[in-house]
Each structure stands twice: as structure tokens, then as C-alpha cells.
Amino acid sequence: MYTNKQVWSVSYPILLSLLAQNIINVTDTAFLGHVSEVALGASAMGGLFYICIFTIAFGFSTGSQIVIARRNGEGRYSDVGPVMIQGVMFLLVMALLMFTFTKTFGGSIMRLLVSSEDIYRGTMEFLDWRIYGFFFSFLSVMFRALYIGITRTKVLTINAIVMALTNVVLAYAFIFGKFGMPVMGIKGAAIASVIAEASSILFFIIYSYITVDLKKYGLNRLRSFDLALLTRILSISCFTMLQYFLSMVTWFIFFIAVERLGQRELAIANIVRSIYVVLLIPVSALSTTTNSLVSNAIGAGGIQYVIPLIKKIARFSLFIMLFFVAFTALFPQFLLSIYTNETALIVESVPAVYVICGAMLIASVANVIFSGISGTGNTQAALLLELFTISFYAAYIIFVGMWLKASVAVCFTTEILYYALLLVTCYIYFKKAKWQNKKI
């Protein structure tokens, strides 16, 4: 059974890495919030489109991470490398396909989804550059899967700091035309993010070559394409790929609904979403830890420790979130002032901040338990639970956002509905389903 110290030793580097990575989101939103509401709204739409596609790669890497963690727990270290290498080859092909798809059809898709001509033009200006990041971000997630799977997570913090510092400096220079650069606005934000992702890959390659025992993990030689191994990885990953993609699509539906309420509402939603994502960082770190430790525990023959482990991490997550939610609820205007100096925009955003505070208390427990299901290897079950909950999520946001045209704060109550349903369904699954004997 893992101790609190062991859980934290795996979790805190992931938390710090996510914090550093989300500095990119915060700085881009904050910088563009001082450019215009159109730039802020367009970056939200373009960013969500990018993330929807990126989550396909992230879902594949999560499935790969589960397999790597299981092999690591079993002591089959030399089988880790082949999973990593096949994943890299697969995601390089996926990056090329997604880049070509977006170049060809991205404009037509956004034309159907965005009603404002100004937002549409800004979104396309952002996407035209942002999609080059596919080639770097798709590979980065495989390095993340490797290091989380073998529980060497400290490197993720260093990598994320490198990426965040690169992005902050370049975004400031490109967006506002500093250090001799021309003023690029929203295009500058996209270019800075791509270069930051490239720096991440360069760091991972150098670090891995210097510090990792490549022979031990079977990474000391390139391998030919192995369809049988890739099929085994996809048997786990295909469900997480679809799960993450559908989850982000519902976020996209949320912003489509809000965009139809107006540019001001879209700006509010983007600012509040940025705070929301920051609040999710400790939850995401502990959820990722749950996924990896559950898979390692099962691989080591400790299936009886799975439920106690999930409960321990869920309690830990809730206690941490109580602190962050209390701070956010007490000082919402201070946090909002980071993104904009417009008093009216700050005041109008406060109610939505209070709503996400309530949602995060439920999310802190629900996400950990949900990641425990994936960690057992039952990714198909996790997908089915996600499909059930997001169907209610999508129906609710279409009803309150597109039909009732309710306020942004009311639209955000869909997060409370989503996490409440997810928590209940996950609890029922662990009580009733036969999850113990999944082979991967």
C-alpha cells in the first residue's frame, strides 16, 4: 500500500509541471485580455479547437501510460521502450494527418460554428500558426507517459518550467512587439506556443539521453513498426482517445453556446475558464497519480490495495481543493484583475467564478475515482461512463445556453451537473462491476 509520502512524491512534480504548463494558458489569456475582447474570444475558440484534436494524442498517451505502468509494476522494464517507440511512430503519423485535416477543413468548420465575423477572422489567424504545434505536442505526451508510467515524475516539472519560460518571454515579445519584434497580436501568441512546445521536445530528448538507462527500458535501439504491439496499446488507448476527445468537444459546445450570447460573454467565459483550469491543476495531478499507482499496484499483485489507495488520494484531493476554493471565493476580483483591467468585465465575471468554485469541490473527488477506473485497465468502462455524463452535459448547455440564453454563470452550472453525475456513476461502478481481472 502506498503511503501519503509516496503518493505526494509522485504527485507534486506532476502538479508543478501542470502549473508551469498552465502558465502558458494564463499568460496568453492575460496578454490577449489587454489587447481586445475579440482577441480574447478568438484565442478561446482557436485554442479549444486545437485542444480538441490534441486530446486524441493525449488519450493515446494515457492508454500507453497505463501499459507502461503495468509493465513497470511487473518488473518487465525492457518492455517499456517498445511501447514508447511504437507510440512515437503512431503519433507522428497522427500529427501529420491532423495538420492536413485542419489546414483543409478547419476554416469551413469554424465558419459553421462561429457567428461573429471578427471572432472568425481572429480564430483563423490563431489556428493558421497554432496547428504547427501538433508535431511537437503529440510527441511530448509520449515522454510524459513514459516518465509517469515509471514514476520518475520530477523531470516533468523541469520540462514544464522550460516550456513556460520560453512561452512567457516569446508571447510578451510577439504579442506586444517587444525586444525589437513587430506587433503580432493573436498570431504572436500562437507562434510563441509552438516554439515553447518545440523547446519541450528538445529538452525531453536531451534529458532522456543523458539520464535514463536506455538499455534497461529497451530504449537503446529503434525498432521497426510492430502492428501487434500497436494493436495491444490501441486496445487500451482507443477508449481513452475517444473519451478525452468527446470531453473536449463538450467544452467546445459550451463555448459555441456562449459565443452566440455575445463577445463580452465569450470574453468572460474565457477568463473564468482560465481560472477554472488553474484550479484543476492539483486535481489533475492527483488523478494522473491515481492512474499510474493503481496500474503499478495491480502489476505488482496488490489488487487489494486499489480501493484504499483511491480513497486516500480522493481525500487528499478534497482537502487541497478546499484551500484553493476558499482563496478563490474570497478574492475573485483580485484573480480576475490579472486578466483584465476593465472594472465592468471583472464585476460581471464574479458570479461565474463562484459557480466553478462549487464545481471544483465535487471534481476533486470525482476525477480521482474516475482515473482509478482507467488505471485498472478498464478504459472501455471509463468511456461508457464518460459518454453517459457528457450526454447530460451537452443537453444541459444547449438548453440553458442556446435556448434559454442564460447568463455565463448559469451556463457554468453544467460543470456541477457533470461532476455530480460522474461521481455517482463511478461509485456505482466500483461497487457493482467486476473490474479486478482486467488483463493488459
Q: Are the C-beta atoms of residues 266 and 258 closer than 8 Å to each other?
A: yes
C-alpha cell at 239: 477508449
Q: Determine, yes or no, domain membership for 307.
A: yes
- Distances, alpha carbon 11 to alpha carbons 74, 288, 437, in Å: 21, 8, 26
* Selection from 204, 64, 58, 193 nearest residue 127 by Cα: 193
Backbone angles phi, psi at 151, to 5 degrees: 60, 35
What amino acid occupies position 7?
A: V
Q: Determine, yes or no, domain membership for 371.
A: yes
Q: Which residue has the cell 501510460?
A: 65
What is the rounded CA–CA span in Å between residue 351 and residue 407? 10
What is the rounded CA–CA span in Å between residue 168 and residue 41? 20
What local confidence, expressed as pLDDT, does residue 208 receive?
A: 92
What local confidence, expressed as pLDDT, does residue 237 receive?
A: 84
Q: Determine, yes or no, domain membership for 103.
A: yes
What is the rounded CA–CA span in Å between residue 239 and residue 392? 19
* Selection from 290, 236, 289 nearest residue 64 by Cα: 236
Q: Determine, yes or no, domain membership for 91.
A: yes
- Distances, alpha carbon 252 to alpha carbons 266, 270, 343, 394, in Å: 12, 12, 27, 10
What is the rounded CA–CA span in Å between residue 255 and residue 44? 8
> Rounded to two decimals, what is the model's pTM?
0.77
Q: Are the C-beta atoms of residues 384 and 421 closer than 8 Å to each other?
A: no
What local confidence, expressed as pLDDT, does residue 314 receive?
A: 93
- Distances, alpha carbon 242 to alpha carbons 41, 53, 63, 187, 419, in Å: 27, 11, 11, 30, 19
Q: Determine, yes or no, domain membership for 440.
A: no
What local confidence, expressed as pLDDT, does residue 234 receive?
A: 87
What local confidence, expressed as pLDDT, does residue 173 receive?
A: 94
Can you give the C-alpha Rg of the chain in angstroms? 21
Q: Determine, yes or no, domain membership for 223.
A: yes
What local confidence, expressed as pLDDT, does residue 418 receive?
A: 94
Q: Determine, yes or no, domain membership for 142.
A: yes
Q: Are the C-beta atoms of residues 283 and 368 closer than 8 Å to each other?
A: yes
Q: Spell out the per-residue pLDDT of the chain, length 440, in tens.
A: 566 676 767 776 776 666 666 667 677 777 887 777 788 778 878 887 888 888 889 889 888 888 888 888 888 888 888 889 999 999 999 999 999 999 999 889 888 878 888 889 999 999 999 999 999 999 999 998 999 888 888 888 888 889 889 998 999 999 999 988 888 988 999 999 999 999 999 999 999 999 988 888 888 877 777 788 888 888 888 888 888 888 888 887 888 888 888 878 888 888 898 889 889 888 988 888 888 788 777 777 777 888 888 999 999 899 999 999 999 999 999 989 888 778 888 999 999 999 999 999 999 999 999 998 887 777 788 888 889 999 999 899 999 988 989 999 999 999 999 999 999 999 998 888 776 665 65
Q: Which residue has the cell 463580452?
A: 264
What local confidence, expressed as pLDDT, does residue 438 receive?
A: 59
The 3-class secondary structure across the chain, one letter per residue, is CCCHHHHHHHHHHHHHHHHHHHHHHHHHHHHHHCCCHHHHHHHHHHHHHHHHHHHHHHHHHHHHHHHHHHHHHHCCHHHHHHHHHHHHHHHHHHHHHHHHHHHHHHHHHHHHHCCCHHHHHHHHHHHHHHHHHHHHHHHHHHHHHHHHHCCCCHHHHHHHHHHHHHHHHHHHHHHHCCCCCCCCCHHHHHHHHHHHHHHHHHHHHHHHHHHCCCCCCCCCCCCCCCHHHHHHHHHHHHHHHHHHHHHHHHHHHHHHHHHCCCHHHHHHHHHHHHHHHHHHHHHHHHHHHHHHHHHHHHHCCCHHHHHHHHHHHHHHHHHHHHHHHHHHHHCHHHHHCCCCCCHHHHHHHHHHHHHHHHHHHHHHHHHHHHHHHHHCCCHHHHHHHHHHHHHHHHHHHHHHHHHCCCCHHHHHHHHHHHHHHHHHHHHHHHHHCCCCCCCC
What is the rounded CA–CA span in Å between residue 143 and residue 163? 14
Q: Determine, yes or no, domain membership for 368.
A: yes
> Looking at the 3D structure of the chain, how many domains does it have?
1
What local confidence, expressed as pLDDT, does residue 19 receive?
A: 67
What is the rounded CA–CA span in Å between residue 362 and residue 366? 6
- Distances, alpha carbon 259 to alpha carbons 254, 328, 406, in Å: 9, 25, 12
Residue 299 lies in domain: 4-432
